[in-house]
Structure 1
Amino acid sequence: MNAQDLIETAKMLVADNKGLLAIDESNPTCNKRFAKLGIPQTEEARRAYRELIITTPGLGEYISGAILYDETIRQQKQDGTPFIQVITEAGIIPGIKVDMGAKAMAGHPGEKITEGLDGLRDRLQEYFQMGARFAKWRAVIAIGDRIPSQGCIEANAHALARYAALCQEAGLVPIVEPEVLMDGAHTLDQCSEVTEEVLQTVFNQLYTQRVMQSGMILKPNMVLPGLTCSQQESVDEVADATVNCLLRNVPAAVPGIAFLSGGQSGELASARLNAMNFRFKARSPWALTFSFGRAIQQPALDIWQGKEANISKAQQALLHRAKCNWAARRGEYNAAMEGKGV
């Protein structure tokens, strides 16, 4: 492990008001999205869509890193240029999703544990040789009747910490993603309480596993009421609840917090990120940035629909969402931007 390289890469991932683009959906997840739009669920269609994304002109002005999937990091443009070369030449740092997905947790009905630690050391070494410089592992925590349990939180936190330690050993910056899901009827306060417990447990495990905090990025959920909760707080109230929760639980040594979108619309995710930076940037010990997937990609996918003639317009939509989130990092996003395009 070269500690200085890890620290510099982590800083680069959150520099210049840029953020991360998550294009790491598994093949089954990507195929489901394609099916809804009548796009063929084939490797070639997935390859063409990924090429559309990574060749978007100007993407590197707003995106610092791209999280890829195992299939994607091995793919090439139609002309044979490796994707990883295209991304690097655009000034974007390549990253890789390395977990094997959240599976039902034995003895814990309704809860999941993320798998993928077996063989991870060797896989990380291969990805580093391919050019990846950071990685991602997602744990999911559901709020419901008598859940999350302490057992679920502790098991996922331990796995996240072991993954992070292996990443740093291999020279990769770990993106640590403990996601408290927004599904359900829980209140904002309930989400805040669970998120706080999860973060405390995760950072305790990171410390125990000797993970260097200055060489990692945290990718948490925003503190939100459940999707079916009758009370939906304002953008400013969500910003206050989220950042205050993080201030109580995330060490200042962590260089950046890159929020997941978690199913929020692109516009709402941008508005909430903007409120956090507008209200807290001057006193935040870490960069408050984004690591969005659908919240950046979905408009482009809706336009593309698998048709070559739609590529340019789809890329414009993708760049627009990236630019909106870049503005949100500066605390300068507003709804008027949505009518202007790129």
Structure 2
Amino acid sequence: MTAKTLTDTAAALLAADKGLLAMDESNATCNKRFAALGIPQTEAARRDWRELIVTAPGLSDSIGGAILFDETLRQTTHAGVPFAQALAAAGIVPGIKVDTGAKPLAGHPGETVTEGLDGLRERLAEYAGLGARFAKWRGVIAIGAGLPSRACIRVNAHALARYAALCQEAGLVPIVEPEVLMDGDHSLARCAEVTEEVLHRTFAELRAQGVLLEGMLLKPNMVLPAQNAAVQDDVAAVADATVHCLLRSVPAAVPGVAFLSGGQSAQLASARLNAMNARFGAGLPWALSFSFSRAVQQPALELWKGDPARVSEAQKALVFRARCNRAARRGTYDARNDAPL
């Protein structure tokens, strides 16, 4: 696979101020979200929900790529069209989550390592045959008393790099996701310190594995105070801290940074992304975009609740949130025209 193919795909994912839609929840996570809203936890209900997303009119105006779960990549619309094919026909690049989840890290209580490298080369070839053009792998880093350990950071960075190299070998653009969690009571400054260390280590491992930086995208957390932090810094402070952290740790060769939402509200995630682009966007070496899941989907899910009569209404809510985030990429999102933060 040529470098040009990888760089062209990476560029297509974020072209025209678009972002990514993460619709790659595992069945267990999706079922948990369904249960909270009284939606049946069945394969049929999951397919109905994902068809609602894939067929939403106008979604491709703001979404350049969609990350699918294994089950979703194999599902079809009720008309028999594979979801990957339906997305591609709408102008959305289909992708696939390929890690098998974070598991306890031996010898390090409270920390995890993401698994899924065994057999990954063969799975990537199969996914490419099913229509995927990019992939995603998530490493998870917790902040707490004595955490994170250097061992946790190193082992997750190494796994991300090996995954990325295998993706590029298979012709798939790797989305590299090292997530520093919002859980806890740590400060904005502590999150910045840990995020910078995690990113430095991740890019050191990516270089060691020969990953083409121009043919990948980074999916990091924003630099945030923890959910239970005593001080909840304002939107401008988050924007400043996040951009300064990225400037210190992300090579200019990387074409784009697509933030995860990580439990932020839909409106706050949009406002923070908007502040980064409004304050810094024109002078940055990489695009600042989004790869949100709940921050785009949750309002639509709460409207739908499994009711076929509400599909159109839910699709409009989904497209609206995607458009809010496209505006945030441009630095033109106006929270006054959205729900309260």
Q: Structure 2 length as normaliser, TM-score?
A: 0.99
CA contact (8 A) 1:324 1:337 kept: no
After superposition, the C-alpha distances for 1:169-192 in whole angstroms (9 at most, x for unaligned) are 000000000000001000000000
Taking the aligned partners of 1:311 and 1:14, their CA distance within structure 2 comes to 27
- Equivalence for 2:163: 163
Taking the aligned partners of 1:147 and 1:336, their CA distance within structure 2 comes to 39
CA RMSD of aligned residues (A): 0.9
The answer to whether structure 1 residue 87 and structure 2 residue 91 are counterparts is: no
- Equivalence for 2:275: 275
Deviation beyond 3 Å, 4+ runs, structure 1: none
SS in structure 1 at match of 2:156: helix
The answer to whether structure 1 residue 139 and structure 2 residue 139 are counterparts is: yes
SS in structure 1 at match of 2:17: coil
The answer to whether structure 1 residue 262 and structure 2 residue 254 are counterparts is: no
Taking the aligned partners of 1:337 and 1:221, their CA distance within structure 2 comes to 26
What are the ranges of 5 or more consecutive residues in structure 1 without an aligned counterpart? none
1:294 maps to a residue whose letter is R
CA contact (8 A) 1:54 1:86 kept: yes
CA contact (8 A) 1:164 1:174 kept: yes
- Equivalence for 2:56: 56
- Equivalence for 2:215: 215
- Equivalence for 2:25: 25
- Equivalence for 2:326: 326
CA contact (8 A) 1:303 1:310 kept: yes
Taking the aligned partners of 1:335 and 1:107, their CA distance within structure 2 comes to 46
- Equivalence for 1:253: 253
1:99 maps to a residue whose letter is D
**1:130 shift after superposition:** 1.1
Taking the aligned partners of 2:94 and 2:79, their CA distance within structure 1 comes to 20
Taking the aligned partners of 2:16 and 2:183, their CA distance within structure 1 comes to 33
2:103 maps to a residue whose letter is K
**1:81 shift after superposition:** 1.2
Taking the aligned partners of 1:231 and 1:45, their CA distance within structure 2 comes to 40
- Equivalence for 1:10: 10
Matched ranges for 1:297-336 at <5 A: 297-336=297-336
SS in structure 2 at match of 1:123: helix
SS in structure 2 at match of 1:290: strand
After superposition, the C-alpha distances for 1:104-149 in whole angstroms (9 at most, x for unaligned) are 1110000000000000000000111111100000000000000000
2:165 maps to a residue whose letter is A
Residues 199-208 or 77-86, more deviating: 77-86
- Equivalence for 1:287: 287
SS in structure 2 at match of 1:16: helix
What are the ranges of 5 or more consecutive residues in structure 2 without an aligned counterpart? none
Taking the aligned partners of 1:81 and 1:202, their CA distance within structure 2 comes to 38
SS in structure 2 at match of 1:241: helix
Taking the aligned partners of 2:115 and 2:294, their CA distance within structure 1 comes to 23
Taking the aligned partners of 1:11 and 1:77, their CA distance within structure 2 comes to 28
SS in structure 2 at match of 1:157: helix
Aligned residues: 340
CA contact (8 A) 1:142 1:148 kept: yes
Taking the aligned partners of 1:337 and 1:109, their CA distance within structure 2 comes to 45
Taking the aligned partners of 2:121 and 2:143, their CA distance within structure 1 comes to 32
Taking the aligned partners of 1:194 and 1:46, their CA distance within structure 2 comes to 36
2:196 maps to a residue whose letter is E
CA contact (8 A) 1:216 1:254 kept: yes
Identity %: 67
- Equivalence for 1:233: 233
**1:337 shift after superposition:** 2.4
Matched ranges for 1:94-133 at <5 A: 94-133=94-133
**1:336 shift after superposition:** 2.3
Taking the aligned partners of 2:190 and 2:145, their CA distance within structure 1 comes to 12
**1:65 shift after superposition:** 0.1
Q: Structure 1 length as normaliser, TM-score?
A: 0.99
